[in-house]
Structure 1
Amino acid sequence: MVMYIIDTHSHLWLRQDTVVNGLPIRPLPDGRADFMGEERQMLPPFMIDGKNSAEVFLSNMNYAQVSAAVVVQEFIDGNQNDYLEEVARSYPDRFFVCGFCDVRHPGFYPQVEELCSRGFKAIAVPGHRLFLPEGRVWLTSDEMMAMFKYMERNGMILSVTLADGDVQVAEMEEVIAECPDLKIAVGHFGMVTVPGWLEQIKLARHENVSVESGGITWLFNSEFYPYPSAIKAIRTAADEVGFDKLMWGSDYPRTITAITYRMSYDFVLKSAELSDEEKRLFLGENARRFYGFKELVDLPYIKNMSE
């Protein structure tokens, strides 16, 4: 059985230099970052210049036999539209990139039309970052709904991460009702380690909604590899919405400060709790269908020096 592996939640940036809620995020040497007043290991320590490039990611993907990746965006990484447009142009068969607009402030709607005109086929919305000191930004605001309806009309995909539990689920239900043909990928596996996570998963009962597991190894980091509770959660989610609605995502590069890139899916591949067909769907086939990947590269296994 041929199995293509597709990563549905990753990040790229040339320079991570931004401010979130008045707090800076700046690169430091050796893969570290000043992260909102705290020094954190943002990247693996061999990425010494703070640059999280497509070429380094491709090397990881080739080694781990990952055929393609979806690149989302986050406020903490800063706006990377220009770089991701270049990445998509340079590696069209390897990367599906999401555009980004600053939905935290009114007046962002023209950015949506601009992103579409530039060829972006998806927009990422970090919904969990919309609880601002000056007040909450609602996913159902007039401008947000106008954006979602524009995306629906133009066949764009919404990649969205939500606040813990069911805090924003009712808003998403309203968005789905108003935009039934808008394809939506719910990220971070519903924040699976937080009470109420299944309410996010249940959004995938709607025809055009799927769930991706970006960051699942981070959420179960205290348990660590091979993440038996993550496997149990995948099974629980499948019981709710079906395996054809679930997709693997890594949250590269942040998660590979703790594990290798291959380990971020290898625990699924080696699990005895999932069938071969379930693994095929979760690790790539569902993503191929959802994002419309066509020509996927075949990547041979390269033997390690340690073997």
Structure 2
Amino acid sequence: MEHFIIDAHSHLWLRQDTVVNGRRISPLPNGRADFMGEERQMLPPFMIDGRNTAEVFLSNMDYAQVAAAVVVQEFIDGEQNEYLAEVARKYPDRFFVNGMCEFREPGFLPQAVGLMDAGFRGLAIPAHRLPLEDGKRVWLNSPEMMELFKEMERRGVILSITLADGDMQVAEMKEVIEECPGLKVAIGHFGMVTTEGWMEQIKLAKAKNVMVEAGGITWLFNSEFYPFPSAVRAIKEAAAEVGMDKLMWGSDYPRTITAITYRMSYDFITKSKELTDEEKHLFLGDNAMRFYGFRNLPVLPYVKNMSE
């Protein structure tokens, strides 16, 4: 078997311009953003126009020998359905894209059905933002959500979901999994591994069709920095609980590459002596290839750097 590297958690956008909890997020020059009233380096500084496009990402992927990527969506980036549909048409073998609805308000079901009718094979829910700042809360086991999940299960559409820190939404998610045992679910951000109760999210992957992806794990262990030994230990701990065949690597591109290179977001795994070759193959690509059904992946050669 040929082993490929697949990124199970990334982001793309043409323009990041939206409002979350009444606070604006909008692009500034040189890769920066006005992020809820604070200036942040949202993109690497060479991405000067604020555009986070598939073509730039593909250049990074080819250089780092990453064969394919799953693109999720987040409210802080604004809805990108039209652009991601275009990306899927242009690069069907390189990207699996997720649609996103306005899940913070009731009445999202028709839009979700429309996205599935339009060909989206996955939907992303940034559920960690559903406990709203005004004290309201959108419940994952609400009637409209459950109707959506049952329709996704019927159609074979994958759910990519990031949960609030710890076990806040775990009971709701358990009910979803029990009611929709055929629904394929990817739990994001490795259960927010640096927060108390993270293992409760990991345990959800004991269910047959549930996986966990490690998008942003280098961000979560950023204070420790490369080569992220605590991240490797957390991966081993999670594997001991649910099996390495339930875990997938994810980069959280492009946000994480303001601190490290794209290759560094996974090569701390390839260089680790704490994991076997088989565990590395499963985590870095084999599991994602099976779960998302990637086919016709390119074999990407290593290109020597000028500094070597």
| Category of TM-score, reference length = shorter chain | over 0.9
* 2:9 is the counterpart of 1:41: no
Select between 182-191 and 132-141 the one with higher mean Cα deviation.
132-141
Deviations 1:132-165 (A, max 9, x none): 1330110011111111011000000000000000
Q: Which residue of 1 aligns with 2:153?
A: 152
| SS of equivalent to 1:30 | coil
Q: Report the count of equivalent residues.
A: 307
* 2:19 is the counterpart of 1:19: yes
Q: Which residue of 2 aligns with 1:183?
A: 184
| SS of equivalent to 1:39 | strand
Q: Which residue of 1 aligns with 2:266?
A: 265
* 2:93 is the counterpart of 1:93: yes
| SS of equivalent to 1:131 | coil
| SS of equivalent to 1:111 | helix
* 2:132 is the counterpart of 1:132: yes
Deviations 1:28-77 (A, max 9, x none): 00000000010000000000000000000000000000000000000000
Deviations 1:186-229 (A, max 9, x none): 00000000010000000000000000000000000000000000
The 2-side partners of 1:305 and 1:201 are apart by 41
Q: Which stretches in structure 2 are left out of the alignment for 5+ residues?
A: none
Report the Cα offset of residue 2 of structure 1. 3.4
Q: Tell me the amino acid that sits aligned with residue 127 of structure 2.
A: G
* 2:192 is the counterpart of 1:200: no
The 1-side partners of 2:17 and 2:112 are apart by 22
Q: Tell me the amino acid that sits aligned with residue 127 of structure 1.
A: A
Q: Which residue of 2 aligns with 1:169?
A: 170
Q: Tell me the amino acid that sits aligned with residue 97 of structure 1.
A: V
The 2-side partners of 1:116 and 1:226 are apart by 40
Q: Tell me the amino acid that sits aligned with residue 125 of structure 1.
A: I
Q: Which residue of 1 aligns with 2:115?
A: 115
The 2-side partners of 1:268 and 1:59 are apart by 21
The 2-side partners of 1:305 and 1:133 are apart by 49
The 2-side partners of 1:294 and 1:3 are apart by 12
Q: Tell me the amino acid that sits aligned with residue 98 of structure 1.
A: N
Moved over 3 A (4+): none
The 1-side partners of 2:48 and 2:112 are apart by 34
* 2:273 is the counterpart of 1:304: no
Q: Which residue of 1 aligns with 2:220?
A: 219
Q: Which residue of 1 aligns with 2:253?
A: 252
Identity of aligned residues (%): 75
Deviations 1:268-295 (A, max 9, x none): 0100000000000000000000000111
The 2-side partners of 1:202 and 1:75 are apart by 26
Q: Which residue of 2 aligns with 1:55?
A: 55
The 1-side partners of 2:132 and 2:281 are apart by 40
Q: Which stretches in structure 1 are left out of the alignment for 5+ residues?
A: none
Report the Cα offset of residue 232 of structure 1. 0.1
Q: Which residue of 2 aligns with 1:84?
A: 84
Q: Tell me the amino acid that sits aligned with residue 74 of structure 2.
A: E
The 2-side partners of 1:261 and 1:133 are apart by 33
Deviations 1:77-125 (A, max 9, x none): 0000000000000000000000000110001100111001110000000
CA RMSD of aligned residues (A): 0.6
Q: Tell me the amino acid that sits aligned with residue 30 of structure 1.
A: N
Report the Cα offset of residue 3 of structure 1. 2.3
With structure 1 as the length reference, what TM-score do the two structures score? 0.99
| SS of equivalent to 2:185 | strand
The 1-side partners of 2:104 and 2:144 are apart by 11
With structure 2 as the length reference, what TM-score do the two structures score? 0.99
Deviations 1:213-271 (A, max 9, x none): 00000000000000000000000000000000000000000000000000000000100
The 2-side partners of 1:262 and 1:140 are apart by 38
The 1-side partners of 2:205 and 2:279 are apart by 17
